[in-house]
Amino acid sequence: MKYLVDSREMQKYDANTISHFKVPGLLLMERAAIAFVEELHRQNVDLTEVLIVCGSGNNGGDGLAIARLLFLEGHAVTVVYAGNKEHCSESNRVQQDILNAYGISIYMDIPEKIRPTLVIDAIFGVGLSRDVTGEYADMLCRMNELSGEKAAVDIASGISADTGAILGTAFRADLTITFAFEKLGSILWPGNEYAGRIIVCDIGITKESWLGEPPTVMALEEKDFSILPKRKNHSNKGSYGKLLLIAGSVNMAGAAVLSAKAAYATGCGLVRVLTPGENRTILQCSVPEAVLTTYDKTLVPEEPVLREILDWADAIVIGPGLGKEKTSAQILNFVLEYGTSHENKAFLFDADALNLVAEQKNTGVQGADRWKNFKNTAVITPHLGEMSRLTGKTVGEIQKNLLQTAADFADENQVICVLKDEHTVTALPDHKRYLNLSGNPGMATAGSGDVLSGLIGALMAQKLTSYQAAPLGVYFHGLAGDIMVQTTGLQGLTASDLITGIKKVLNIYTQQ
């Protein structure tokens, strides 16, 4: 597990290290400068001619210290100060004095004829919360236009450390060398497009500096696969869970096929699919391992039939390719009512199940979102469009506040909200949030979400809690894509390839 921090958290942990653990701020600044320069060497950055632009805060102080270290190594360094020298932090002032003592000139503007091989941005740190305008904006634009590689100190200036928003204008880095913990703004879109490669360096601000208040956003790592269910020698198909997929509609059988195949690839013992009769032949040919219960598309299955198959299952996934016909809505409503009185069942709502809930809410239907009263916390897996319909917010508004939108919805509805985007957010109703760092653009393909639903459903059927299965399933899904894209390329990756990727991931991580 790794932790990702916002501006408030990083500033607090920095202050805790200084005040509680008595580590001098200047010492942390020196460690940051040393780590930055060492990383430049490890990355084989061309240091023939370096331009470093520093602001008046502690980020600028880091930059001034970096300039000194590079100067003492014998590199040609030009230091430019952006801001008012008289209104600077105390540590920044000390670093100015040190440069003056070494005879290193500090310019107030970028020299006209400079042709740097490296441009270092140390203007603003993580605390920036206002739009960059005027002389600062002009300075960032000029820096972006210069030749040479671009490197940012801690975070690229102009990026909100909290949301990834571009605050007016921003430095476009090829490399961001950050300290202690990764910053959310460098990972979330569009900030990630300005951050370049991100490297985290230890400077002495550690988990101890949390003082009992850890970051609220986490990202899973490979070692977190340790919670995957293990296969036992003495077992049978019933040992690995029973998953009910309520999926597919006429001309949309593929969603049910992909979800069922993904569930079996993830190790589920038995998958049952409730789908219209028109899909019987397709499913029997495509997923012969699946058990089928079919119904007339114009008639909802009788209550005893629905109750029997729901009672049979350990986990229920409803929505992939379901369609929005009257029968689909009736089945959904039965499942929603069932979930309010059965605490030993896991539920996941996806795709058309979410669209139907949104339609019912918008037309004033009472209890459309009954999942907030479930005995066992439900998982929902909306993409941005589905989330827009559920919340009434525009896609643009959601993208600007991805983490907060998911967290607010999870809290208000008491669900686990898996909000799918470039970096999918999994927000839990206990205020914990996961930001997924696996996956690639090739996964933006038809059926990818159906695979994810089947994967998470299979983990829940195998007795992982919903709180475990949702973030792990998202990470697992991304790794499957990362493995397969090495063979298929980004353009050629399909949802069916992801199912092969699931098997490859399991083969790697269950053998360790």
Q: Determine whether 180 is exposed, middle or buried from the number of CB atoms within 10 Å of its CB (0-12, 13-18, 19+).
A: buried
Q: Is 131 annotated as a binding residue?
A: yes
Residues of the chain where predicted confidence (pLDDT) is lower than 70 = 511-512
Q: Is 450 annotated as a binding residue?
A: yes
Considering the segment(s) 2-215 as one domain, its CATH architecture is 3-Layer(aba) Sandwich (3.40)
Task: Enumerate the domain spans of the chain.
Answer: 2-215, 222-229+236-510
- The span from the CA of 488 to the CA of 499, in Å, is 13
- The span from the CA of 277 to the CA of 300, in Å, is 12
Q: Is 317 annotated as a binding residue?
A: no
Q: Is 60 annotated as a binding residue?
A: yes
Q: Is 238 annotated as a binding residue?
A: no
Q: Is 20 annotated as a binding residue?
A: no
Contact 418, 380 (CB under 8 A): yes
Q: Is 394 annotated as a binding residue?
A: no
Q: What is the pLDDT of residues 415-429, one digit of tens each?
A: 999 999 999 999 999
- What 8-state DSSP symbol labels residue 197? E
One-letter amino acid at 423 equals: H
**CATH T-level topology, domain 222-229+236-510:** UDP-N-acetylmuramoyl-L-alanine:D-glutamate ligase (3.40.1190)
Q: Is 364 annotated as a binding residue?
A: no
Q: Determine whether 64 is exposed, middle or buried from the number of CB atoms within 10 Å of its CB (0-12, 13-18, 19+).
A: buried
Q: Is 420 annotated as a binding residue?
A: yes
Confidence at residue 175, expressed as pLDDT on a 0 to 100 scale:
98
Q: Is 130 annotated as a binding residue?
A: yes
Q: Is 62 annotated as a binding residue?
A: yes
Which of 281, 259, 285 is closest to 272 using CA atoms?
A: 259
Q: Is 422 annotated as a binding residue?
A: yes
Q: Is 400 annotated as a binding residue?
A: no
- The span from the CA of 130 to the CA of 83, in Å, is 15
Strand arrangement of the beta sheet that strand 346-350 belongs to: 182-183, 2-5, 217-219, 433-435, 425-427, 416-419, 379-381, 346-350, 315-318, 242-246, 270-276, 291-295
Q: Is 396 annotated as a binding residue?
A: no
Strand arrangement of the beta sheet that strand 76-81 belongs to: 106-107, 76-81, 49-54, 118-122, 149-153, 175-179, 197-201
- The span from the CA of 380 to the CA of 426, in Å, is 10
What residues are paired with 106 via a beta bridge?
79
Confidence at residue 420, expressed as pLDDT on a 0 to 100 scale:
98
Q: Is 59 annotated as a binding residue?
A: yes
Note if the pTM is more than 0.85: yes
Q: Is 61 annotated as a binding residue?
A: yes
Contact 57, 82 (CB under 8 A): no
Q: Is 125 annotated as a binding residue?
A: yes
Count, in order, helices (H) and strands (E) of the chain.
17, 19
Q: Is 157 annotated as a binding residue?
A: yes
Q: Is 55 annotated as a binding residue?
A: no
Q: Is 267 annotated as a binding residue?
A: no
Q: Is 475 annotated as a binding residue?
A: no
Confidence at residue 367, expressed as pLDDT on a 0 to 100 scale:
77
Q: Is 424 annotated as a binding residue?
A: yes
- For the chain, the average pLDDT equals 96
Which of 407, 482, 13 is closest to 210 using CA atoms?
A: 13
Q: Is 128 annotated as a binding residue?
A: yes
